[in-house]
Structure 1
Amino acid sequence: MSSNKESVGGADNMSDDLVELSDEETVQIDGEESAKPTNESKENMDNSEDGQKRKCNSEAWTHFINIEVKEEGKMVKKHQCIHCKKRFTVQRTKTTSHLLRHLPKCTGIKRLKGKKGFINFQPSSSDNASEYNLNGGYDHMKCREIIAKMIIAHELPFSFVEYYWFNELMKYNNPFYQKVSRSTIRKDCMRVVEVEREKLKKVFKSVDMISITSDCWTSNQTVGYMCLTAHFIDSNWKIQKYIIGFSELAPPHNGEVISDAILECLIKWGIQDKIGTITLDNASNNDRAASILKNVFKGKGKLHFEDLFFHVRCCAHILNLVVQDGLGTIDCCLVKVREGVKYLRKTPGRLLKFGEIAITLGIPTRRSLCTDVKTRWNSTHRMLESAMHYKLVFQGYALRDSNFEWSPTDDEWARAEKVCKLLEVFLVATKLFSGTLYPTANLFLVEIYKVKKVITNAYESKDEFLNKMSAPMFAKFDKYWGEIGVLMSIASILDPRFKKLSVSWTFKKLYSADEVDDRVEDVIVKLKSLYEKYSDAFQMARASKYNSTSTSCVAQKNGEEEDFMTFLKTMPIETSQKSEVDVYLEEPSYIVLDNQEFDVLKWWGQSSSKFPVLSKMARNILSIPITTVASESAFSAGGRILDDYRSSLTKDMVELLVCGGDWIKSVSKATIQTLEQSAKEEENLEVQIPTSDEAFN
């Protein structure tokens, strides 16, 4: 164990450099008298027989210390292994051969190297986990790097490295560990993030097109931040997302400020010419920012999808607006249920009485009673659903407690039931949009159709309440369907299981019979128009490569024959009458068995040799995010990093910790939580209904 000199109170006096632990540590061996190390240093602690001091350069001194122990009534010098605490006699010749022979058999070193006979943790799933093995011995700088990554990824304070018991643990695991200060680990974190930044820049250089999502957030210090996330499909046909900016946003947060901040971040990364789409919330300042950015990219001739879908509106946000319009029609019932649940949660006695009434009425009490968050409509739906389960209990409790004023009327309950049934399809779509793995755009068309179909049925219903409630929902959804419908339709066609069938089937259920064919043909025309642009770019790139190859062939030495394969690659492509789009659409759909999982990106990766142009286009379209969930999820981390105790962090350090944490988690394959999962963890929205005295325990 470390001496008391290694206390928490001395942390503030540490320098920015490594702080070595004291060599004068006391080691207590069970069953023997206390042993203390000698005062001589390792460099000149021993004298040779001729009286000359000699330096101890042997490798053994990395693993042994000199101590004095009491044997037969007198103090005797011994060599002690710092790993297994085994002692050896000091040779008169001062040789260390017997010490070196001990090292391969040392049980302490075997434990460090993970040999059999010791309990080991499961190996890391990280792709670069092999660089942290101990076969090459302990590397203190590598240990500091791992600690820095741990602090960034798990949002720990820099002072974590100065905690007394953390240092005790590290010293116990490896005596070579040296304590570091918060200033040192802060610099280590900056170096770690800078290394990850350079790696990511290299990745961006190999990507043809990047889609970005952005959202704004206000911290507990009322400081505005903008998060910018890059999305793309890598060379292995895996969808990737990285937070590339978490910058402070100067007020006012108008379109000009937002567009300037986004453009500045893109230029800093060198990807301003690779942006295909930008996904933003449905707000006027975001519309203005998207228009400014679109004008900039159009002026430079860098619009990847012509003028089709540069600005993508967040579907999750649109659904939220649609749902809020519907919930507004039963606002009175919402207020009563929300305030009633709050009233019941205030004391265990009220909840117990509520549970006893439920048992008397024969209503199961396994279901929790939920409250909601006004800005999260799915929590409002959950609150209403749980309240309707206890509908009769609410009425019975109001008769027994004169202070309870929040029991909805029968008409309000009926309306709430209709709304809940209507919103169930929204829940499925929202879970897909806010999914953990951020699914590709080919999956959204059918789910959006279900939402639109439910709203249309309610709008055309003879039920006066449903008709009135769905009118604003129908108008708002129809306003944005035209913008997102084309993107979803083209992405769905690029799914080999669906092709034109998904669009034809969906449009038949959404539009009248006389306009279905025209709408389907319009989508196909836009798909082929995009393909022609990609084909022209592909031919130009090939021609450029052909010209460079021809020039190199001319420059060859006289008499040197060019390789036949090189000549073959320079031959122009023979264009057939049918394009890749026509061939793809005419082939039968890919059949997937019921128990078989299908990866659309893997399919296109395997088919890239057959469809070289169309696969490149599919890579870019399928990577387009239709929600800002990836950017919004960063605000949970931002809220934890910028808590009340760390509000003095500079804006550069906040960006470093948020972005760096995202990069390190991506490398370590850490699980990305959905917004719904985060909400459940951060807020106590549910309360169990007690039915006995356990409510007071």
Structure 2
Amino acid sequence: MERFLEVLDDNDANENDENKERNEVGKSGAKHGTSNVWKWFDKLSKTTSKCRICKKIYMTSGNTSNLREHLNRVHPNYAGTECKKSTIKDFFKESNYYEDNNPRKNLIDNAVISMIVTDMQPTRVVDDVGFRNLLGVLEPRYKLPSRTTFQNVLLVEMFDNAVKSLKTMLNNINYCSITSDGWTSKNNINYLTVTCHFIVDGKLKTAVLSTNPLNDDTNHSGENFASSIRHVLTEWKIFDKVTTIVTDNAQSMVKACRLLEKCHLPCFAHSLNLVMQDVLSHDNLKELISKCKKIVAFFKSSSIAYAKFRAAQGENPLRLIQEVTTRWNSAYKMISRILATKDAVTSVILKTHKAPSILNADEIELLEDLDDLFCQMDDATKRVSAGNTVTISLILPIIYGLLSNIKGSIKNLKTEKGAVIANFLLDRLRERIVPYENRSPVRKATLLDARFKKEAFRSASNAEASAKLLQDELAAMKLSNPVVFTDPSVSTLPQTADSTQLGKRDMFGFLKKNREDKIKSQRVDTILKMRQYFEDVNIPTYSDPLEYWQMSEPKFKFLKECANKYLIIPASSTESE
């Protein structure tokens, strides 16, 4: 309103008189201060000044910002370049900005909201001065919408479009699997995350279906988890398409899967973590791990010691890593980094007063043994925690590889304690992860991964038993989906009475018997197809098994369908965690 009144006052002035005053006033020069703005204003008091052009009085508040703004906005003809702060807006007035329905503006709007979502930025980024200046330089005609518009309009539209697109994809698939994990926020609200895994055009896809509070936030019972998961699956219309649910080993999650009547697969990465937590709690390691943590804590608590530590390493110094009790591999990273910088660590500790005791030679050798053992466990954890590649078929090969490699490395360990730890690790692996060899989804997925097939099984009898299970499923799929060949011309032929109704023997009764024999032969055909598949050369281990099935021959139709059913199952619940 103030701006509107100022414009009216300005328009009332006679243009000729204004030009005359401009010439007269301009000669007077600056009377107050050093700013050129005072060419056009008279100082009335310490806090007020009067425009010499339109006679309007302004508060100065000790600076000339509002005076300069008045001059630039109301009297642009008087604002010389010496008084005017140049900006992009000087060259592009309001009328030159893109209209709201301009395709170019819509494109930039969508790019900005996409950046916010992809990089998980807060919507307040659009209020940042640097970000707004960047867009102004890149596209001066683009006017950035408000934060409210991005949050309540553009973000909502993007979400709705994503939901629509995902529902379309899920509507066109036959099988999917999910992972689920419960967690508690800082506000003590119980949440449940559900992710979905499926195949589209031969590619493995992952999507977060929900991260919402539990239906009943008063308990973590199996019934509550089951009800919450069922609600999500029903909302997305995929309940009947879910083959397997992957969760941690919590009993409430196991019970929820049983109530939902869905196959449950315990998270393999979680099982590996439980194995390593047992190992790190071993009596032979407790004292050594504690000593390593004290060394790292000493350097991280003293800036002087840390500066000496960096200087002792020379170029490209490494940082020490502290263990986090909830993640076993943080202990492995701590040990590995201490070994990589042990000379610098020892040098600084020996020269520093009140420093912790150094690691002796025996302790260093034990750490080297642990580094060799833990390296293999860390590699296994990373492999099964991948999100966009097939992982379930890695479980059996990893079990086979870990048991073989750790057993074979015992003779090369430097310390007796290292050998004790290695044997303890083997015992924990046999107890916690070997049972995965008896889980049907894992066995079938391994057979259907062209990288491994039967060769990934530790036991030949287990491989054959698994092949028998797969054979039974394939035969059932063929029987429920028989290949029927019809002759279109038959329907145009005149219908005749069935000869059996006339009390005569059916001339073509043998056809029914032959059809029944053909159905029985489906099992034989399944055996032949499986034998042909198993006899083919395995693809390289770095290959994508989904690409193999995407390019497979039509004769392997049912094998491919079964592969799409099992290879979508993730080996861990990392995605939902």
- TM-score, structure 1 normalization: 0.58
| Structure 2 partner of 1:191 | 157
| Structure 2 partner of 1:321 | 274
* Corresponding position: 1:387 with 2:338: yes
Amino acid at match of 1:523: S
* Aligned-residue offset at 1:401: 3.3
Amino acid at match of 1:590: V
| Structure 2 partner of 1:226 | 192
* Aligned-residue offset at 1:268: 0.8
Residue 207 of structure 1: which of 173, 186, 207 is its match?
A: 173
Cα distance in structure 1, aligned partners of 2:146 and 2:323: 44
* Corresponding position: 1:182 with 2:172: no
Residue 311 of structure 1: which of 256, 264, 270 is its match?
A: 264
8 Å contact from structure 2 (residues 196, 209) kept in 1? yes
| Structure 2 partner of 1:244 | 209
Matched positions, count: 461
CA, structure 1 residues 436+311, in 2 after alignment: closer, same or farther (shift >3 Å)? closer
Superimposed CA distance per residue, residues 615-658 of structure 1 (whole angstroms, 9 cap, x where no aligned partner): 100111111111112222xxxxxxxxxxxxxxxxxxxxxxxxxx
| Structure 2 partner of 1:434 | 385
| Structure 2 partner of 1:257 | 224
Amino acid at match of 1:445: L
* Aligned-residue offset at 1:229: 0.5
8 Å contact from structure 2 (residues 195, 208) kept in 1? yes
* Aligned-residue offset at 1:232: 0.8
Amino acid at match of 2:447: I
Cα distance in structure 1, aligned partners of 2:422 and 2:476: 44
**Per the alignment, in what secondary structure is the counterpart of residue 207 of structure 1?**
coil
Cα distance in structure 1, aligned partners of 2:397 and 2:368: 25
Cα distance in structure 2, aligned partners of 1:391 and 1:419: 15
Residue 404 of structure 1: which of 343, 347, 355 is its match?
A: 355
**Per the alignment, in what secondary structure is the counterpart of residue 305 of structure 2?**
helix
Cα distance in structure 2, aligned partners of 1:316 and 1:252: 26
CA, structure 1 residues 339+495, in 2 after alignment: closer, same or farther (shift >3 Å)? same
Cα distance in structure 2, aligned partners of 1:354 and 1:618: 53
* Corresponding position: 1:288 with 2:288: no
8 Å contact from structure 2 (residues 479, 522) kept in 1? no
Aligned ranges 1:520-559 → 2 under 5 Å: 520-539=463-482
Superimposed CA distance per residue, residues 362-407 of structure 1 (whole angstroms, 9 cap, x where no aligned partner): xx98554332322222221121122134445555544433412343
| Structure 2 partner of 1:269 | 236
| Structure 1 partner of 2:292 | 337
| Structure 2 partner of 1:589 | 536
**Per the alignment, in what secondary structure is the counterpart of residue 578 of structure 1?**
helix
Amino acid at match of 1:583: K
| Structure 2 partner of 1:490 | 444
**Per the alignment, in what secondary structure is the counterpart of residue 579 of structure 1?**
helix
8 Å contact from structure 2 (residues 309, 348) kept in 1? yes
Cα distance in structure 1, aligned partners of 2:343 and 2:391: 44
Aligned ranges 1:31-110 → 2 under 5 Å: none
Cα distance in structure 2, aligned partners of 1:351 and 1:163: 35
Cα distance in structure 2, aligned partners of 1:519 and 1:69: 88
CA, structure 1 residues 283+411, in 2 after alignment: closer, same or farther (shift >3 Å)? farther
Amino acid at match of 1:521: E
Cα distance in structure 2, aligned partners of 1:356 and 1:165: 36
Residue 545 of structure 2: which of 557, 579, 600 is its match?
A: 600
Cα distance in structure 1, aligned partners of 2:150 and 2:229: 30
* Corresponding position: 1:216 with 2:159: no
| Structure 2 partner of 1:502 | 456
* Aligned-residue offset at 1:247: 0.9
Cα distance in structure 1, aligned partners of 2:397 and 2:429: 19
* Corresponding position: 1:349 with 2:304: yes
* Aligned-residue offset at 1:275: 0.6
CA, structure 1 residues 553+183, in 2 after alignment: closer, same or farther (shift >3 Å)? farther
Bigger CA drift: 143-152 or 612-621? 143-152
| Structure 2 partner of 1:672 | none
Cα distance in structure 2, aligned partners of 1:223 and 1:470: 42
Amino acid at match of 2:198: F
Cα distance in structure 2, aligned partners of 1:414 and 1:170: 57
Amino acid at match of 1:279: V
Cα distance in structure 2, aligned partners of 1:173 and 1:394: 49
* Aligned-residue offset at 1:278: 0.6
* Aligned-residue offset at 1:257: 1.8
* Aligned-residue offset at 1:228: 0.7
Percent same amino acid among aligned pairs?
Answer: 23
Amino acid at match of 1:197: V
Amino acid at match of 2:267: C
CA, structure 1 residues 187+331, in 2 after alignment: closer, same or farther (shift >3 Å)? same
Which blocks of at least 5 consecutive residues in structure 2 are unaligned?
Answer: 4-74, 78-88, 495-514
**Per the alignment, in what secondary structure is the counterpart of residue 623 of structure 1?**
coil
* Corresponding position: 1:626 with 2:577: no
**Per the alignment, in what secondary structure is the counterpart of residue 298 of structure 2?**
helix
CA, structure 1 residues 496+433, in 2 after alignment: closer, same or farther (shift >3 Å)? closer
8 Å contact from structure 2 (residues 245, 257) kept in 1? yes
Cα distance in structure 2, aligned partners of 1:365 and 1:204: 49
Superimposed CA distance per residue, residues 240-299 of structure 1 (whole angstroms, 9 cap, x where no aligned partner): 1100011123242232222211111101111111110011112222222222222xx5xx
Cα distance in structure 1, aligned partners of 2:174 and 2:270: 28
